């Protein structure tokens, strides 16, 4: 939904459910998605906080942003720190945040459930795009009686401004981890992922203990606005890239203007498993010179050899172009299950050899130039 004129005192329904149902009704004041700001906007200072935007006014701007008009954000302290925010809250003294919303973001035919979870940290746990939060689920660690659960890390799926553009929230993309007995084929709840199920079952208002932010390897280099960024993700590994792309194409940040190329490769099982697909499709429509988007659907598509289409097969299709971009200084990022990397590495090595190059030497150079960014789990 593209809006070109301000709206005042208007109720708006957003269709964000995978089944097309109306999932939220909110009231907003004085919104404009042109070059004007979204009022009221909160900074991190106490004076700004006194403006008092209500919790229920949080807006997840994902599917409805469909034009080149951007949301003007107020940078304030979020753009000023010279050092990366790191480990502001540690496992022994986590920050208690509040769940704002939990939304299923995959279709009915997706294998498994993935949720988009918005967490209110009230501006006290600032982060940069590409970083992660730690989450400590409630309960006792079964391996250490009397002790809390271990921290689980999740890549943050929003920009430093959050989905409400006020610097007070962070979003996570979480797949519910379930275990099925290989012999009976039945689900075994006793072996289900503790943290992922806690998050996916959470309700607005629930408390969640978070640590961090952590990580520097996936930070988006912003000193070269015309740079090329090649992003390769499987499943929920798309989380940091959603943050990158919102910063590049959705937000109007006065001191950050992206004019390079971002190329996203996303590998999932089928069409119903695609994450943030409408959001990415909107960027593709509005910024065709700055954004490319290629999907690998393993259960619906075949690769050139007739096998299942995985993300490494898509990379091989465009290997000549990718290698040329890397030779010209492009950054390449990988995020997802660690099992994705062997197949990708084998593909890149084979392509390099076909080009008469040594992949080991090339990889060493990419790392030396800080063009190679990997975060797998």
**What are the catalytic residues?**
154-155, 335, 375, 377
Sign of CA dihedral 293, 268, 114, 244: negative
Report residue 103 as tokens: 């939304």
C-alpha to C-alpha distance for 106 and 112, rounded to whole angstroms: 9
Residues sharing a CB contact under 8 Å with residue 198, sequence separation 6 or more, in sequence order: 135, 137, 138
C-alpha to C-alpha distance for 216 and 290, rounded to whole angstroms: 25
Please name the residue that has the structure tokens 């099992």.
Answer: 339
Cβ atoms of 103 and 146 within 8 Å: the answer is: no
Q: Look at residue 271 and give its three-state secondary structure.
A: helix
Q: What angle do CA 45, 49, 51 make, to 5 degrees?
A: 135
Q: Which residues are annotated as a binding site?
A: 155, 175, 236, 298-299, 308, 336-337, 375
Q: Look at residue 127 and give its three-state secondary structure.
A: coil
C-alpha to C-alpha distance for 79 and 158, rounded to whole angstroms: 15
In the chain, how many H helices and how many E strands?
8, 15
> What is the length of the chain?
377
- Written as one string, the DSSP assignment of 197-235 is HHHHH--TT-EEEEEEEE-STTPPP-S-TT-EEEEEEEG
**Buried/exposed code over 234-258 (b: 16+ C-beta within 10 A; e: otherwise):** bbbbbbbbbbbbbbbbbbbbeeeeb
Q: Are strands 251-252 and 71-72 parallel, antiparallel or unpaired?
A: parallel
Q: Which residues are annotated as a binding site for NADP(+)?
A: 155, 175, 236, 298-299, 308, 336-337, 375
Please name the residue that has the structure tokens 């390897």.
Answer: 217
Alpha helix ranges (H) inside the chain: 46-49, 194-201, 239-245, 277-286, 311-317, 319-327, 340-354, 359-368
């Amino acid at each position: 939904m593209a809006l070109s004129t301000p709206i005042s005192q208007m109720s708006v329904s957003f269709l964000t459910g995978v089944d097309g149902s109306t999932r939220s009704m909110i009231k907003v004041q004085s919104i404009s998605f042109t070059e004007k700001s979204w009022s009221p906007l909160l900074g991190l200072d106490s004076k700004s906080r006194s403006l008092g935007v209500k919790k229920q006014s949080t807006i997840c701007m994902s599917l409805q942003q469909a034009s080149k008009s951007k949301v003007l954000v107020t940078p304030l302290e979020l753009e000023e720190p010279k050092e990366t925010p790191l480990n502001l809250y540690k496992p022994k003294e986590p920050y208690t945040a509040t769940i704002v919303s939990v939304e299923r973001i995959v279709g009915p035919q997706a294998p498994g459930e993935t949720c988009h979870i918005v967490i209110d940290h009230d501006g006290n746990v600032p982060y940069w795009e590409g970083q992660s939060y730690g989450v400590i689920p409630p309960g006792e660690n079964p391996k250490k009686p009397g002790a809390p659960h271990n921290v689980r890390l999740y890549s943050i799926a929003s920009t430093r401004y959050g989905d409400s553009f006020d610097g007070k929230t962070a979003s996570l993309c979480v797949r519910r981890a379930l275990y099925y007995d290989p012999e009976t084929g039945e689900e075994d709840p006793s072996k289900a992922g503790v943290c992922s199920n806690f998050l996916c079952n959470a309700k607005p208002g629930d408390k969640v203990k978070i640590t961090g932010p952590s990580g520097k390897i996936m930070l988006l280099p912003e000193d070269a606005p015309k740079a090329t960024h090649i992003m390769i993700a499987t499943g929920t590994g798309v989380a940091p890239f959603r943050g990158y792309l919102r910063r590049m194409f959705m937000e109007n940040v006065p001191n950050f203007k992206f004019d390079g190329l971002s190329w996203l490769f996303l590998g999932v099982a089928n069409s119903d498993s695609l994450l943030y697909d409408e959001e990415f499709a909107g960027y593709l429509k509005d910024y065709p010179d700055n954004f490319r988007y290629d999907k690998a659907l393993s259960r619906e598509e075949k690769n050139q050899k007739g096998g299942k289409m995985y993300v490494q097969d898509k990379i091989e299709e465009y290997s000549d172009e990718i290698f040329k971009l890397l030779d010209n200084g492009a950054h390449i990022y990988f995020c997802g299950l660690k099992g994705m990397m062997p197949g990708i590495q084998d593909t890149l090595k084979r392509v390099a050899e076909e080009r008469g190059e040594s992949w080991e030497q090339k990889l060493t150079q990419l790392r030396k130039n800080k063009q190679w960014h990997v975060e797998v789990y």
